Amino acid sequence: MTSIAVIPGDGIGPEVTDQAVRTLDVLGFGLVFDVLDHVNADTYLKTGTALSDADFDRIAASGAALLGAVGDARADTAYARGVLLRLRFALDLYVNYRPARLMHDRFSPLRDASRRPIDCVVIRENTEGLYTGIGGRLRPSTSQEVAIDSEISTRHGVTRILDFAFSVARRSVCMVDKSNAVRHGGALWQDCWALARGRRPDVQTSHEYVDAAVMKLVHDPTAFDVIVTNNSYGDILSDLTAELAGGLGTAASANINGATGFGLFEPVHGTAPDLVGTGTADPIGAVLSAALLLERLGHDDGATAVRAAVDAVVAAGQVTPDLGGHLSTNDVGAAIRARL
């Protein structure tokens, strides 16, 4: 028996997470669900606590976690950070793993998608880079004001994300940086890349500067398998690949500690306040996140079955309005379960 911590969260989070849990339930695999449905903005607004120590411990003790979305216009940013960043840093979820696979030609924004079906994974460093908040503002509000954000790359952090990318490579690994312009961090990434490649001579590799990478991704996404990059480039590239694969409603992600294997799985989209209660939120991103969870737990056959079921409902047009259909969140979930 493996316990899965479930954090439905806010907005459409509970609606899509419910479909993900029910999908996993159909498959069995001895998963039991520990639902923390009190971890949400209402609780935060009442108590001032985003994630209590007791709830953190429940999540940390589970075999994996499934998350909907957290965020609320009524709460300050300390709320979402108190949940997401606490889990990310305390559990050291240094890998952000975002697969992008075109499920149907009609979802691609590219002309002639049939010749350019994207099927890649962006592996984004999740704990350092440009987003650590290190920096400051000098002479604030004067005409001489200067703002500085430091981009942090550590040998430890770069090495482990590159090694993780090799560990999940199927055909090849492409490292993306901007080492022709970002001198110090670029040089460190290049050093670590040379060493990581040396450890895995069996894997085909390539390197792209980030500006060239975006052009090539649009020109020929089939050229990419695993893309590994830093926090900020990964942020941007993974939104591009998600859109090339069909958009926000279907994109899945995982936040993983490559050493312990623990993962937090969540759809890429947020709380989508405009859709709450309409019953039209696309559950596919959440369901495919559950497939990633199965894969991480070693149930590759289950993950494959879920993807095949999703492909089948998509091909049959049994989809929500964001994908051009007229089914509800629950109808799409039921159609997926029926095929399992």
Nearest residue (CB) to ligand ATP, 177 versus 235 = 235
Instruction: Rule CB under 6 A: say whether 317 interacts with ligand ATP.
Output: no
- 13 interacts with, out of ligand ATP, Mg ion, none, CB within 5 to 8 A per kind: none
Q: Active site includes 72?
A: no
Q: Active site includes 239?
A: yes
Choose the binding region for ligand ATP from 117-125, 171-179, 212-220, 272-280 (rule: CB under 6 A): 272-280
Choose the binding region for ligand ATP from 47-55, 98-106, 265-273, 308-316 (rule: CB under 6 A): 265-273
Instruction: Rule CB under 6 A: say whether 249 interacts with ligand ATP.
Output: yes
Q: Active site includes 202?
A: no
Structure tokens at 167: 């560990």
DSSP per-residue codes, 204-257: EEEEEEHHHHHHHHHH-GGG-SEEEE-HHHHHHHHHHHHHHHT-GGG-EEEEE-
Are 294 and 27 within 8 A, CB to CB?
yes
* Shortest reach from residue 275's CB to ligand ATP, in Å: 6
Q: Which of 30, 84, 96, 77 is nearest to 59 (CA)?
A: 84
* Shortest reach from residue 270's CB to Mg ion, in Å: 4
Catalytic one of 44, 72, 178, 225:
178
Of the candidate residues 248, 276, 312, 334, the single one contacting ligand ATP (CB under 6 A) = 248
User: Between 300-315 and 329-339, two packed helices, what is the crossing angle to 10 degrees?
Assistant: 120
* Shortest reach from residue 42's CB to ligand ATP, in Å: 15
Instruction: Rule CB under 6 A: say whether 269 interacts with ligand ATP.
Output: yes
User: Between 284-296 and 13-27, two packed helices, what is the crossing angle to 10 degrees?
Assistant: 50
- 39 interacts with, out of ligand ATP, Mg ion, none, CB within 5 to 8 A per kind: none
- 240 interacts with, out of ligand ATP, Mg ion, none, CB within 5 to 8 A per kind: none
Distance CA 42, CA 222 (A): 44
Instruction: Rule CB under 6 A: say whether 275 interacts with ligand ATP.
Output: yes
Structure tokens at 259: 């050493």
Choose the binding region for ligand ATP from 163-171, 207-215, 278-286, 305-313 (rule: CB under 6 A): 278-286
Choose the binding region for ligand ATP from 1-9, 111-119, 194-202, 263-271 (rule: CB under 6 A): 263-271
- 282 interacts with, out of ligand ATP, Mg ion, none, CB within 5 to 8 A per kind: ligand ATP
Question: What value, to the nearest 5°, has the Cα angle with vertex 40 and ends 34 and 46?
Answer: 125
By the 10 Å C-beta count (0-12 exposed, 13-18 middle, 19+ buried), 202 is classed as: exposed
* Shortest reach from residue 28's CB to Mg ion, in Å: 34
Q: Active site includes 131?
A: yes
- The number of residues making up the chain comes to 340
Q: Active site includes 46?
A: no
- Spatial neighbors of 117 by CB under 8 A, at least 6 apart, are 101, 102, 105, 108, 221, 222
* Shortest reach from residue 259's CB to ligand ATP, in Å: 29
Q: Which residue shows structure tokens 């080492």? A: 179
Q: Break the chain down into helix, strand, coil percent, rounded to 5.
A: 45, 20, 35
What is the contact surface with ligand ATP in residues (CB under 6 A)?
11-12, 16, 69, 71, 248-249, 269-275, 281-282, 285, 322
Which residues are tagged catalytic?
131, 178, 211, 235, 239
